[in-house]
Structure 1
Amino acid sequence: MKSALFVTDCGVVTPLGRGKQAVAQGLFAGSQRGIVAREDLLPARAVEVGAIQESLAPLPGAFAVYDSRNNRLMQAVLAEIAAAIENAKSRYGRDRIAVILGTSTSGIADGEDALMDYRRDGAWPPRFDYRMQETGSLAEFAARSLGLTGLAYTIATACSSSAKVFASARRLIRAGLADAAVVGGADTLCRMTLNGFASLEALSKGRCNPFSAHRDGITVGEGAAVFLLDREPGPVRLLGVGETSDAHHATAPDPEGRGAGQAMREALEDAELGPDAIAYVNLHGTATPLNDAMEAKAIADLFGSRVPCSSTKAMTGHMLGAAGGCEAAFLWLTLNPQTNSERLLPPHLWDGVPDPALPTLNLVGRGTTFPPSPQTAMLSNSFGFGGSNMALILGSGR
């Protein structure tokens, strides 16, 4: 029999706010407070992005070599679950807790600023250290700051990065290489990423409009989320994971949604659930023409038009490597009665104009609720460049 794993605590900061209560309040209200226009990311063009407004404290002196905005985001969310991690350390020992985190941009934004200083002054700024922008910096910093000496590594599979950490951590625990794991991810706004998406003509001209006939591309965002994955009972349980790689194209998804659909089917099989057991799906829903068409087909093929679903990216922007982790946090907040006593679902914000070329989906509006049940299961999709697909099922715990 499979041993149960629980997501015992959660820390989160997104454009919706900082901390579980603030993010939950904005999420269920359908807030777009964090979607703002920025003029410093693209040359001669303003662009709307999902930006975190709250100030972030610098890293302490001992960790100055890691002091990027990305790691500051991780520091903020780790602080929210510090007590749970300390409790796990006392039970298992600091060498038995793994740290598996996902990112795509890491500290590139700080490297960009340092390069501008170098071009202007002929010298790198004193605070800059290359380790700030290394992909592995995120997990290395987190493990060291927590005093953990077990396995620690970063996953970088584009937009599925911080969803895949759940599957990787579960494998480590089942293999006996760890007793618990700190999982999640962080990603930060940077010029390189925005200009890359602009060159692909994938950026929305305004705010993203997922699954609309008028959708024209993504809104990029930033965020971080972190969790403790443990055998100790908690408010939310990890029920199933499904991973596929269809490798259809470097950037475009398989138009038939075969890899995405297979990831969802594998997650359901892993959770020993049928499609009718899923109470809600958090769609990847990037608002690009190809991604939404592919995902709508995959959802309709598996669930029909029954399952309530929404894309939360109109509230946060696409948080890239942090999207999977932050949207797992949205499931955690939805399933946990302490953060969602009214059983509200995250609403789907769009212009309300369906695309007649897409299958009909049950896109939920503000105020939609899910029925009370002792066991509620919800699914979140994360799909990355290169066909890296991840479906994650969480359920009510204890």
Structure 2
Amino acid sequence: MTSARTPSVRTPSVRTRFDAAITGIGLVTAAGGSTAATWERLLAAEGTLCGPVPDLAPIPADLGCAVTGFDPVAAVGRRKAWRLDRSSQLALAAAAEALADAGLDPAGWQGARVGVVLGSGIGGAGTWERQHRVLLDQGPEKVSSLLIPMLAINMSAGYIAMEYGAQGPNFVTSTACASGTTAVGAARELLRSGACDVVITGGTEACLVPSIISGFSQMGALSRRRDEPARSSRPFDVDRDGFVPAEGAAVLVLERADDARARGARVHAHVSGYGASADAHNATAPDPDGRGAELAVRAALLDAGIAPDAVDHVNAHGTSTPLNDVAEARLIRRVLGARPAVTSVKGVLGHALGAAGAIEAAVTALSLEHQVIPPTANLDSPDPQIDVDLVRKAPRTGRVDVALSNSFGFGGQNAALVLTRA
């Protein structure tokens, strides 16, 4: 009988730096249906864009940051709108903006060299809940024949591929609230490996539905500040009482930096490093000192070949929950020191779950491009346990060459991206 041996632990080797150029950005968020609208509202940081969601009554925590004014017929056409779950509708709208921004014409590309990698934590939750109601009220013969292709978590990526003839690798990453960040990291690897020349990546989520929100509410994870909805999401503030769920989508177009340069594309920023890890600690609570998350951050820095003291800015996961914000702040201070300027966009946009990391990667790219860091909304009284340089009250202008975007999720899922100025 052979005995099991503990494998030796090896220090990861430094790989040659690989820059993936972000040539296109598309955003559909609670701040609006475009990148420009989202960026403008983030810089203003006037408060959380949320309120009670009628469908969520009588859940005690019925606040949500919905994408208001979104017209799926205008975004994807009448025929597609009724066949797609809202999560796929939002993804297609973001993809259209991103591809236009990148200046790419799908009619002229080699589809087999174009991949799609999206992140989503839950998938077609709205469709599932509506059709379950039909099943209970009217019987199985009334359930839609489109139920499965509407709710399946992979379909947001599938529908983008169908829309644009992208015949390369196509999949969805599902690592809870780290899903969007995981997707961008995986997309970069497809470029690095040579499997693709272009990757459409990002994340989407649309789960402001009673069953999902009831689950979060019962866990005590959500803010119940119904009397002040605009002040409900307050990352790093001493009075934070939970996150505010949101819907939204972000799509980024990634290309090799050399390819983007050769075609004269505008580059918003580079994705230069990616790291992932697991806490192996608790199903829903983060490691209190952020030790698991630290592995992801250090892996991303190593992948980018960048020293911790070179990081200028951190776009934090910053959920506005008591445990997460302290754990993340400890991680940032321990690994990066006091230097980087830290912000969280969830004070304005809420927490878009599986799409959050992609939205935040896009915003981080915009900070690098415009050399401006949006403030954290509702950060009136910083928690004294949080000893980092928090951007609040007003945007901060200054030199930003290297930025880190963090995402952490249930199950102890951690992912981090290093983005650099183009």
> Structure 1 length as normaliser, TM-score?
0.91
Pairing partner for 1:296 from 309, 329, 353: 329
Pairing partner for 2:136 from 114, 119, 125: 119
Give the aligned partner of residue 365 of structure 1. 392
* Partner SS for 1:244: strand
Would you say the 8 A contact 2:43–2:395 is kept in 1? no
Q: Which amino acid aligns with 1:202?
A: A
Q: Distance in 2 between matches of 1:4 and 1:218?
A: 33
* 1:72-87 equivalences in 2 (<5 Å): 72-83=89-100, 87=104
| 1:352 and 2:380 are equivalent in the alignment | yes
| 1:381 and 2:410 are equivalent in the alignment | no
| 1:158 and 2:191 are equivalent in the alignment | no
Q: CA deviation at 1:199?
A: 1.4
User: Which segment drifts farther, 43-52 or 262-271?
Assistant: 43-52
Q: Which amino acid aligns with 2:197?
A: D
* Partner SS for 1:18: coil
Specify whether residues 141 and 55 from structure 1 end up closer, same or farther in structure 2 by C-alpha distance, changes over 3 A only: same
Give the aligned partner of residue 219 of structure 2. 200
| 1:53 and 2:86 are equivalent in the alignment | no
Give the aligned partner of residue 151 of structure 2. 133
Pairing partner for 1:317 from 326, 350, 354: 350
User: Which segment drifts farther, 292-301 or 270-279?
Assistant: 270-279
Give the aligned partner of residue 214 of structure 1. 239
Give the aligned partner of residue 340 of structure 1. none
Would you say the 8 A contact 1:280–1:377 is kept in 2? yes
Q: Distance in 2 between matches of 1:311 and 1:42?
A: 28
Q: Distance in 1 between matches of 2:83 and 2:56?
A: 23
Q: Distance in 2 between matches of 1:71 and 1:395?
A: 30
Which ranges of structure 2 fall in alignment gaps of 5 or more residues? Answer: 1-15, 226-231, 262-266
* Partner SS for 2:277: strand
Q: Distance in 1 between matches of 2:327 and 2:126?
A: 31
Specify whether residues 134 and 363 from structure 1 end up closer, same or farther in structure 2 by C-alpha distance, changes over 3 A only: same
Would you say the 8 A contact 2:114–2:197 is kept in 1? yes
Give the aligned partner of residue 277 of structure 2. 244
Specify whether residues 85 and 311 from structure 1 end up closer, same or farther in structure 2 by C-alpha distance, changes over 3 A only: closer
User: Which segment drifts farther, 231-240 or 7-16?
Assistant: 231-240
Q: Distance in 1 between matches of 2:67 and 2:18?
A: 37
* Partner SS for 1:87: coil
* Partner SS for 2:179: helix
Would you say the 8 A contact 2:275–2:297 is kept in 1? yes
Give the aligned partner of residue 100 of structure 1. 117
Q: CA deviation at 1:92?
A: 5.1
| 1:14 and 2:29 are equivalent in the alignment | yes
Q: Percent identity?
A: 35
Would you say the 8 A contact 1:20–1:333 is kept in 2? no
Total equivalences in the alignment: 389
* 1:61-76 equivalences in 2 (<5 Å): 63=80, 66-76=83-93
Which ranges of structure 1 fall in alignment gaps of 5 or more residues? Answer: 338-342
Q: Distance in 1 between matches of 2:102 and 2:83?
A: 21
Specify whether residues 218 and 84 from structure 1 end up closer, same or farther in structure 2 by C-alpha distance, changes over 3 A only: closer
Q: Distance in 1 between matches of 2:124 and 2:114?
A: 25
Q: Distance in 2 between matches of 1:329 and 1:270?
A: 20
> Structure 2 length as normaliser, TM-score?
0.86
Would you say the 8 A contact 2:375–2:396 is kept in 1? no
Would you say the 8 A contact 1:17–1:23 is kept in 2? yes
Q: Distance in 2 between matches of 1:2 and 1:308?
A: 24
Specify whether residues 23 and 61 from structure 1 end up closer, same or farther in structure 2 by C-alpha distance, changes over 3 A only: closer
Would you say the 8 A contact 2:330–2:387 is kept in 1? no
* Per-residue Cα deviation, 1:217-241 (whole angstroms, up to 9, x for no partner): 1111111000111011323111111
Would you say the 8 A contact 2:203–2:249 is kept in 1? yes
Q: Which amino acid aligns with 1:381?
A: N
* 1:32-43 equivalences in 2 (<5 Å): 32=47, 34-43=49-58
Q: Distance in 2 between matches of 1:49 and 1:311?
A: 17
Q: CA deviation at 1:117?
A: 3.3
Would you say the 8 A contact 2:61–2:222 is kept in 1? no
* Per-residue Cα deviation, 1:79-103 (whole angstroms, up to 9, x for no partner): 1123367737567510111100000
